[in-house]
């Protein structure tokens, strides 16, 4: 199946493709071979880039996971929803049931939709009973099927949820209970039984021990349903393959939301030692294997050319994030943020500038590289055009239709993009504005992701202006040298902060 190289759905000469988004967790630009990694082999992701287009100015909307996931699925910047922060494992559903979302849009276009893997967007309402129906969840915001890691792999409950129910609960006399306020039950914790741990953890991560790893929070009971960390990547892969095989003759959307390389890092034994960057590198090798398995399945079923595969990550990388598993000591010369400063939690480029690869044989020319600015918030409007859907007026207020950019037909991307760390920043063209210099100072701690650093100590709380064309590492503040540009970006950021970018106004102006 070959699509014409056009920029409008109306001009395309065939049916829309299947769509798979593979979403890594805490993977940075420099973690992927085709983006410069030398110590972590990622041949399958690299091949995906060789077969399609690799973006060098693509962004997650935020430097942490819940906000980025919210934006990807809703087409709205997460800062517009005050609840869109890093959620606890027992938080209620963040996205309002019935909201217009990416899966809901694709379902209206005739796709069957599935999410497999990490969710971290809340489940149910307050005080979830994990032993009965857990609702609302993904099925109430547009997915036909779901198989979830409810929050993160370092948080309780350490169980999978399929549809509305925990998978594998088998004993009514052993109900699953979860608490984030106080210890419940008598199960070992990282504090009480450190000798049971594969590696120690900080205070926050020293709750209930599961598979030799202590977690955030406490749980008791339901042990028949507890997951096996070593098998998690295999579980998500098999569930995804089953969905693809069932849907091979009809259009489908799969959101495969992986847990790697988020902490705790405990890969299957077949991947241990397969990188030269310790356990963190090994779980990225495991992630790469998953990508290879998905592509191989598409090829075996004869639907590779009918499927758009997107690989990206939710936020920038981090070495230490609660577990003392030697990630810093074993990293060697590996730089997970590549040429950028900062990483997870940071407003600097390393926090939100992501690896982003799109591969669709026959429609996207192989081996393309694009520096056009693209944000994950744009996937809603872009894929709407791809599938011939006209978005409702209220849908995706911050989402731009960048289909020609995604397909490699133009270098023209966003004019500007908002980045959310501890506060908001904005990039317009090659200029980057951070309102408060204290945000930049977050990269100065001993686990900084960047290849360079400013002077040690706390930076002055002043605005920062960087020219990314000349200073990709954000080391030289040009605010005093270009006050006009700084004021322009400050005013633009404030305008966006106070109201959506207004997709409808953009559409109206472009049609005049």
Sorted by sequence, the CB contacts under 8 Å of residue 496 that are 6+ apart come out as 77, 418, 426
Per residue in 15-63, pLDDT (tens digit) is: 899 999 999 999 999 999 999 999 999 999 999 999 999 999 999 999 9
Res. 162: pLDDT tops 80: yes
| C-beta separation of 424 from 61 below 8 A | no
Q: Residue 5: which pLDDT band, with cuts at 50, 70 and 90?
A: very low
Which of 116-130, 381-395, 415-429, 446-460 comes out lowest in average pLDDT?
446-460
Per residue in 176-234, pLDDT (tens digit) is: 999 999 999 999 999 999 999 999 999 999 999 999 999 999 999 999 999 999 999 99
User: Is residue 273 one of the residues assigned to a domain?
Assistant: yes
Q: Cis bond leading into 136, ω under 30°? A: yes
Res. 133: pLDDT tops 60: yes
Per residue in 327-340, pLDDT (tens digit) is: 999 999 999 999 99
User: Is residue 199 one of the residues assigned to a domain?
Assistant: no
User: Where is 401: in which H helix or E strand?
Assistant: none
Short-list 343, 368, 367, CA closest to 353: 343
Per residue in 303-352, pLDDT (tens digit) is: 999 999 999 999 999 999 999 999 999 999 999 999 999 999 999 999 99
Final residue of a structural domain among 414, 447, 477: 414
Res. 490: pLDDT tops 50: yes
User: Is residue 493 one of the residues assigned to a domain?
Assistant: yes
Helices 278-300 and 232-246 sit at what angle, rounded to 10 degrees? 20
Residue labelled with tokens 């009480």? 192
Per-residue pLDDT, 105 = 98
Q: Are strands 112-118 and 145-149 parallel, antiparallel or unpaired?
A: parallel
Distance, in Å, from the CA atom of 363 to the CA atom of 243, rounded to the nearest integer, reads 24
User: Is residue 485 one of the residues assigned to a domain?
Assistant: yes
Asked if 346 and 438 sit in the same domain, the reply is no
Q: Are strands 145-149 and 307-313 parallel, antiparallel or unpaired?
A: unpaired
| C-beta separation of 387 from 492 below 8 A | no
The pTM score is: 0.94
Distance, in Å, from the CA atom of 294 to the CA atom of 244, rounded to the nearest integer, reads 9
Q: Residue 14: which pLDDT band, with cuts at 50, 70 and 90?
A: low
Short-list 347, 344, 317, 349, CA closest to 469: 349
Kindly give the residue spans of alpha helices, DSSP state H, lying in 2-101: 43-50, 65-74
Count other C-beta atoms under 10 Å from residue 221's C-beta: 20
Res. 240: pLDDT tops 60: yes
Asked if 498 and 391 sit in the same domain, the reply is no
Length of the chain: 512
Res. 454: pLDDT tops 60: no
Short-list 439, 280, 334, 236, CA closest to 36: 334
Per residue in 394-453, pLDDT (tens digit) is: 899 999 999 999 999 999 999 999 999 988 999 999 999 999 865 544 443 333 444 333
Distance, in Å, from the CA atom of 334 to the CA atom of 276, rounded to the nearest integer, reads 9
Asked if 365 and 498 sit in the same domain, the reply is no
Average pLDDT over residues 246-252: 98
Question: Using H for helix, E for strand and C for coil, what is the string for 297-366?
Answer: HHHHCCCHHHEEEEEEECCCCCCCCCECCCCCCCCCCCCCCCCCCCCCCCCCHHHHEEEEEEECCCCCCC
| C-beta separation of 254 from 114 below 8 A | yes
Final residue of a structural domain among 363, 393, 414: 414
CATH number, domain of 397, equals 3.40.720.10
Asked if 304 and 360 sit in the same domain, the reply is yes
Per residue in 354-374, pLDDT (tens digit) is: 999 999 998 999 999 999 999
Asked if 145 and 54 sit in the same domain, the reply is yes
Per-residue pLDDT, 291 = 98
| C-beta separation of 290 from 258 below 8 A | yes
CATH number, domain of 480, equals 3.30.1120.10
Asked if 426 and 409 sit in the same domain, the reply is no
**Measuring CA to CA, how many Å separate 280 from each of 62, 147, 327?**
22, 25, 6
Distance, in Å, from the CA atom of 447 to the CA atom of 442, rounded to the nearest integer, reads 10
Per-residue pLDDT, 461 = 78
Check residue 167 and report its DSSP letter. Answer: T
Which of 9-13, 126-130, 264-268, 413-417 comes out lowest in average pLDDT?
9-13
User: Is residue 215 one of the residues assigned to a domain?
Assistant: no
| C-beta separation of 341 from 63 below 8 A | no
User: Is residue 28 one of the residues assigned to a domain?
Assistant: yes
Mean pLDDT of the chain: 91
Res. 6: pLDDT tops 50: no
Q: Residue 170: which pLDDT band, with cuts at 50, 70 and 90?
A: confident
Count of structural domains, the chain: 2
Q: What percent of the chain has pLDDT over 70?
A: 90
Per-residue pLDDT, 238 = 98
Asked if 352 and 260 sit in the same domain, the reply is yes
Asked if 330 and 459 sit in the same domain, the reply is no
Per-residue pLDDT, 499 = 81
Per residue in 62-75, pLDDT (tens digit) is: 999 999 999 999 99
Per-residue pLDDT, 501 = 63
Asked if 116 and 42 sit in the same domain, the reply is yes
- Torsion angles phi and psi, residue 424, rounded to 5: -90, 150
Secondary structure E strands in 228-306: 252-257
- Torsion angles phi and psi, residue 195, rounded to 5: -70, -15
Asked if 334 and 463 sit in the same domain, the reply is no
User: Is residue 209 one of the residues assigned to a domain?
Assistant: no
Distance, in Å, from the CA atom of 332 to the CA atom of 107, rounded to the nearest integer, reads 46
Asked if 332 and 426 sit in the same domain, the reply is no
Domain holding 441, by residue range, is 418-510
Distance, in Å, from the CA atom of 213 to the CA atom of 197, rounded to the nearest integer, reads 6
Short-list 47, 54, 36, CA closest to 374: 54
Average pLDDT over residues 477-492: 96
Short-list 178, 83, 127, 75, CA closest to 393: 75
Asked if 389 and 305 sit in the same domain, the reply is yes
User: Is residue 122 one of the residues assigned to a domain?
Assistant: yes
User: Cα torsion at 334, 337, 339, 340 (round to 10°)?
Assistant: -150
Distance, in Å, from the CA atom of 239 to the CA atom of 116, rounded to the nearest integer, reads 7
Final residue of a structural domain among 371, 386, 414: 414
Average pLDDT over residues 151-163: 98
Per-residue pLDDT, 443 = 40
């Amino acid at each position: 199946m070959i699509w014409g190289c056009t920029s409008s759905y109306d001009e395309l000469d065939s049916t829309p493709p299947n769509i798979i988004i593979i979403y890594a967790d805490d993977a940075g630009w420099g973690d992927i071979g085709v983006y410069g990694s030398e110590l972590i082999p990622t041949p399958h992701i690299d091949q995906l880039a060789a077969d399609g287009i690799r973006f060098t100015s693509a962004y997650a909307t935020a430097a942490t996971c819940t906000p980025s996931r919210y934006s990807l699925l809703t087409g709205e910047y997460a800062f517009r929803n005050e609840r869109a922060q890093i959620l606890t494992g027992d938080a209620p559903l963040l996205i309002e049931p019935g909201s217009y979302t990416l899966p809901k849009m694709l379902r209206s276009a005739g796709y069957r939709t599935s999410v497999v893997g990490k969710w971290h967007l809340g489940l149910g309402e307050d005080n979830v009973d994990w032993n009965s129906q857990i609702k609302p969840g993904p099925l109430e915001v547009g997915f036909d099927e779901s198989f979830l890691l409810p929050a993160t792999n370092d948080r309780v409950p350490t169980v999978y949820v399929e549809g509305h129910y925990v998978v594998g609960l088998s004993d009514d006399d052993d109900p699953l209970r979860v608490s984030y306020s106080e210890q419940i039950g008598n199960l070992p914790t990282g504090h009480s039984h450190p000798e049971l741990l594969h590696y120690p953890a900080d205070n926050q991560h020293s709750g209930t021990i599961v598979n030799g790893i202590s977690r955030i929070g406490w749980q008791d009971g339901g042990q028949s349903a507890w997951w096996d960390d070593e098998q998690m990547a295999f579980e998500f892969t098999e569930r995804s393959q089953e969905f693809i095989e069932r849907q091979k003759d009809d259009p489908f959307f799969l959101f495969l939301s992986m847990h790697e390389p988020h902490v705790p890092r405990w890969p299957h034994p077949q991947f241990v030692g397969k990188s030269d960057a310790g356990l963190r590198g090994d779980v990225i090798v495991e992630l790469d294997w998953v990508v290879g398995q998905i592509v191989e399945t598409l090829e075996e079923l004869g639907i590779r050319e009918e499927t758009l595969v997107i690989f990206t990550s939710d936020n920038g990388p981090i070495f230490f994030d609660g577990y003392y598993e030697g990630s810093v000591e074993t990293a060697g010369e590996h730089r997970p943020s590549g040429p950028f400063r900062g990483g997870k939690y940071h407003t600097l480029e390393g926090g939100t500038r992501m690896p982003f690869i799109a591969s669709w044989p026959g429609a996207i020319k192989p081996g393309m590289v694009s520096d056009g600015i693209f944000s994950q918030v744009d996937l809603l409007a872009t894929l709407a055009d791809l599938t011939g859907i006209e978005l409702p007026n209220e849908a995706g207020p911050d989402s731009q239709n960048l289909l020609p950019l995604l397909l490699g037909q133009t270098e023209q991307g966003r004019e500007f993009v908002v980045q959310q760390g501890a506060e908001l920043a904005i990039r317009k063209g090659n200029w980057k504005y951070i309102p408060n210099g204290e945000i930049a100072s977050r990269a100065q701690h001993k686990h900084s992701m960047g290849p360079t650093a400013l002077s040690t100590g706390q930076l002055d709380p002043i605005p920062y202006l960087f020219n990314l064309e000349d200073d990709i590492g954000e080391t030289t503040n040009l605010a005093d040298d270009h006050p006009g540009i700084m004021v322009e970006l400050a005013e633009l950021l404030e305008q966006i902060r106070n109201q959506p970018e207004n997709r409808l106004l953009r559409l109206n102006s472009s049609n005049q």
